[in-house]
Amino acid sequence: MELKSNVPSGPIDQQWTRHKFEMKLVNPANKRKYTVIVVGSGLAGASAAATMAELGYQVKCYCYQDTPRRAHSIAAQGGINAAKNYQNDGDSVFRLFYDTVKGGDFRSRESNVHRLAEVSVNIIDQCVAQGVPFAREYGGMLSNRSFGGAQVSRTFYARGQTGQQLLLGAYQALERQIGLGAVKMFTRHEMQDLIVIDGRARGIVTRDMITGKIESHIADAVVLATGGYASVFCLSTNAKGCNTTAIWRAYKKGAAFGNPCYTQIHPTCIPVTGEHQSKLTLMSESLRNDGRIWVPMKKGDTRSPAQIPEDERDYYLERKYPSYGNLAPRDISSRAAKAVCDEGRGVGSTGLGVYLDFADAIQRLGEAKIRERYGNLFDMYERITGENPYQIPMRIYPAAHYTMGGLWVDYNLMSTIPGLFVLGEANFSDHGANRLGASALMQGLADGYFILPYTIGNYFASNKFEKLSDTHAACKSGESSTAVRVQKFLAINGQRTVDSFHRELGHIMWEFCGMGRNEKGLQTALQKLPALREEFWKNVRVLGEGEEINQSLEKAGRVADFLELGELMCLDALERRESCGGHFREEFQTADGEALRDDQKFTHVAAWEFAGDAKKPVRHVEPLAFENVHLQTRSYK
């Protein structure tokens, strides 16, 4: 397998402009001759499908929810970055690029990140034109707030529901094209397999989740925008339905998987309360603009927060990272929370929690202002915990949230399978070993509105496509293997629920491949996972039939894939013998507990090639060069 990044030559700030000019175009009248499949209708998929249809391509779009409006992008709360410099506080395209490369701990591809920063400004204009109601200042200007890892205010937001408002914008654009007949929308259809013909991605196999019908869909190119896989941890901030199925099946068909172990653990989530939970709730990072994080100075201090005087509190982020304070990046803030809890200074009944306190901000700005900024987040917290955060500090703890890893793509967002493009959280592209807050929405929309529509045209104009039909042998084989798999799940008739396997998998991943990883733990996980997988295939109980709505069957398919992916994540974490960003190998840390990279050996992307079910996957590397932001030890002190 060859990993060709296809990064254009020349100065970094001119690469994308030149590349756009040098790429071949498809003449407007010819665009309708090409059909594109887009799997996923979240921010990345909906923006791509709508834009390509607007350009004149024929688009077929798929999602597993009953409407594109329920894609998980809707959950995004805090905001979206863009280098508009509306605050006149020193922001620029280069600064956003610099912050993102540094934030990713020097493990991302410089050219992609620069392009992302360039395109960020267009995204805001596009969304404003669509009517997305971003927060505004009294005078009508768009308002900004700060997110972690930045010393400027560049985050655009719509209260605590930015993802929802952005998705409504993309959804309207998509619906318009559905109305015009340019996009054919397939809701409640789950992609089960990728169809590869003559070495190129030419279609997908889906299961209709209402009738159980399994069928093939053919196109000239396939785009996967199927989101992240943090649900491998079972308890995460992701929706229960988030999965790895589409990208995992593509991996098994030859698409390299980039940096699978790079997971983001978000520092501000409502702590776990017990085994009954099916997911965790994020408290947006935007809250760290006004909330102060602290724990008691003394171990085992069980006094209520109000009884703990100021000089007996440890505002540990402000103490350890004075220049960024409560807005230190997520990986650093998460580890700092874990460290104080490991010392026995955590709060709440489990001891796995820290305070996020708004008392100072309320005193300074008034409760009404805080309500205006974060009202829905405070309401959500109160509904879940029964505590009023205007009066009692919130309790928060880190939780699995986002996956920087995903299918490897080149500069054109094409995977190692020609004709298979991957967008949004599903690809590995821009965030290196740690994503900065408010940059996932930016990346998904950059990919869908502004990058893919150009690069896919170049692919079409550079290749010839023979007409295919869904009776092709590759389609029939994909359909029959999908049907066999469904039957296999239903026939096992074992003793354990799918959820119980998912929970056990989550425990293994959190303990051994979570916030802290080490050689011994990862080896343990690599022994436990195959055993759990074997038990799953012998002892899972999937009730109901295949020809009806069957959530147990849907979950079984996803958990089966997670059980395989978990092993690849542990293998990747084991082989990366350094600490970087969200990947903290306990053996590699500085004297004061910070991540210790090994630039000599690991300044590269690890991309894994599937070698067969019983075989160890092959690790390939794409070397990374840092010519514009020079390698340095990341410091937020």
Ligand X SMILES: Cc1cc2nc3c(=O)[nH]c(=O)nc-3n(C[C@H](O)[C@H](O)[C@H](O)COP(=O)(O)OP(=O)(O)OC[C@H]3O[C@@H](n4cnc5c(N)ncnc54)[C@H](O)[C@@H]3O)c2cc1C
CB-closest chain residue to ligand X: 42
Q: In whole angstroms, how close is the CB of 154 to ligand X at the nearest point?
A: 12
Q: Does 75 bind ligand X (CB under 6 A)?
A: yes
> Would you count residue 42 as binding ligand X (CB under 6 A)?
yes
Q: How far is the CB of 240 from ligand X (least distance, A)?
A: 12
Q: Binders of ligand X among 522-551, rule CB under 6 A?
A: none
Distance between CA atoms of residues 611 and 603, nearest Å: 24
425 binds ligand X (CB under 6 A): yes
| Contacting residue, 58, 126, 144, 243, with ligand X by CB under 6 A | 243
Tokens of 4: 């060709």
Shortest Cβ 274–ligand X spacing (Å): 20
Q: For residues 292 and 314, what is the distance between their CA atoms, to the nearest angstrom? A: 10
First vs last C-alpha separation in the chain: 41
Identify whether the C-beta of residue 606 lies closer than 8 Å to the C-beta of residue 259.
yes
CA pair distance 49, 41, nearest whole angstrom: 8
Q: Which of 269, 238, 82, 75 is nearest to 163 (CA)?
A: 75
User: Minimum CB separation from ligand X for residue 530, in Å?
Assistant: 24
Handedness of CA 526, 528, 530, 533 (dihedral sign): negative
156-187 exposure pattern, b = at least 16 Cβ within 10 A, e = fewer: bbbbbbbbbbbbbbbbebbbebbeeebbbbbb
Select the residue interacting with ligand X from 238, 264, 326, 482 (CB under 6 A).
238
The residue within the footprint of ligand X, chosen from 7, 16, 34, 41 (CB under 6 A), is: 41
Residue 437 Cβ vs ligand X, minimum distance, rounded to whole Å: 6
Q: Which of these ranges, 88-96, 134-142, 423-431, 541-549, lies near ligand X under the rule CB under 6 A?
A: 423-431
Contact in structure between 44 and 426 (CB atoms under 8 Å): yes
Nearest residue (CB) to ligand X, 40 versus 419:
40
Q: Which is nearer to ligand X, 43 or 201 (CB)?
A: 43
Choose which of 49, 71, 93, 451 interacts with ligand X (CB under 6 A): 71
- The catalytic residue positions are 330
DSSP symbol at 132: -
For residue 497, the minimal CB distance to ligand X (Å) is 21
Residue from 8, 78, 258, 291 touching ligand X (CB under 6 A): that is: 78
> Site for ligand X (CB under 6 A): which residue of 39, 194, 196, 568?
39
The residue within the footprint of ligand X, chosen from 8, 31, 45, 100 (CB under 6 A), is 45
Stretch that binds ligand X, among 21-29, 176-184, 418-426, 614-622 (CB under 6 A): 418-426
The contact mask relative to ligand X for 180-209 (x = CB under 6 A, - = no) is ----------xx------------------
Which residues, including other chains, have CB under 8 Å from residue 147's CB and lie 6 or more apart? Answer: 78, 79, 81, 154, 155, 285, 286, 327, 436, 437, 438
Write out 476-490 in H/E/C secondary structure. HHHHHHHHHHHHHHH
Q: Does 403 bind ligand X (CB under 6 A)?
A: no
Instruction: Please give the size of the binding site for ligand X, defined by CB under 6 A.
Output: 44
Whose Cβ is closer to ligand X: residue 334's or residue 439's?
439
- Helices 551-575 and 473-492 pack at an angle, to 10 degrees, of 100
Contacts of 531 (CB under 8 A, 6+ apart): none
Per-residue buried b or exposed e for 322-334, using 16+ beta carbons within 10 Å of the residue's own CB: eebbbbbbbbbbb
Determine how many CB atoms are found less than 10 A away from the CB of residue 513.
29
Contacts 24+ apart (CB under 8 A), 270-273: 270/381, 270/384, 270/385, 270/394, 270/395, 270/396, 270/397, 271/348, 271/350, 271/352, 271/353, 271/395, 271/396, 271/397, 272/235, 272/350, 272/352, 272/397, 272/399, 273/350
Residue 94 beta carbon to ligand X: minimum distance, rounded to whole angstroms: 20
603 in contact with ligand X (CB under 6 A): no
DSSP conformation letters of 591-602: TTS-B---HHHH
- C-beta of 288 vs 320, nearer to ligand X: 288
- For ligand X, give the closer residue by CB, 314 or 430: 430
3-state secondary structure of 291: coil
Stretch that binds ligand X, among 8-16, 65-73, 404-412, 546-554 (CB under 6 A): 65-73
Q: Mark the segment that binds ligand X (CB under 6 A) among 41-49, 113-121, 311-319, 336-344.
A: 41-49
Nearer of residues 144 and 162 to ligand X, judged by Cβ: 162
State in angstroms the smallest separation of the CB of 245 from ligand X.
4
Does 283 sit near ligand X (CB under 6 A)?
A: no
556 binds ligand X (CB under 6 A): no
DSSP conformation letters of 464-525: ------TTSHHHHHHHHHHHHHHHHHHHH--SB-HHHHHHHHHHHHHHHHSSSB-HHHHHHH
Q: How far apart are CA 537 and CA 558, in angstroms?
A: 13
Applying CB under 6 A, among 362, 409, 441, 563 the residue interacting with ligand X is 441
Angle at CA of residue 374, ends 370 and 376, nearest 5°: 130
Pick one of 38, 48, 63, 526: the residue that binds ligand X (CB under 6 A).
63
Shortest Å distance, C-beta 82 to ligand X: 11
- Least Å distance, CB 237 to ligand X, is 4
Stretch that binds ligand X, among 239-247, 345-353, 614-622, 629-637 (CB under 6 A): 239-247
| Binding span for ligand X by CB under 6 A among 67-75, 257-265, 518-526, 574-582 | 67-75
Report which residue type is found at 632. Q
d(CA 165, CA 401): 20
Q: Which is nearer to ligand X, 295 or 438 (CB)?
A: 438
Q: For the chain, what's the residue count?
A: 637
Interface contacts to ligand X, rule CB under 6 A = 39-45, 62-65, 71-73, 75-80, 162-163, 190-191, 225-228, 237-238, 243, 245-246, 282, 284, 402, 424-426, 438-441, 444
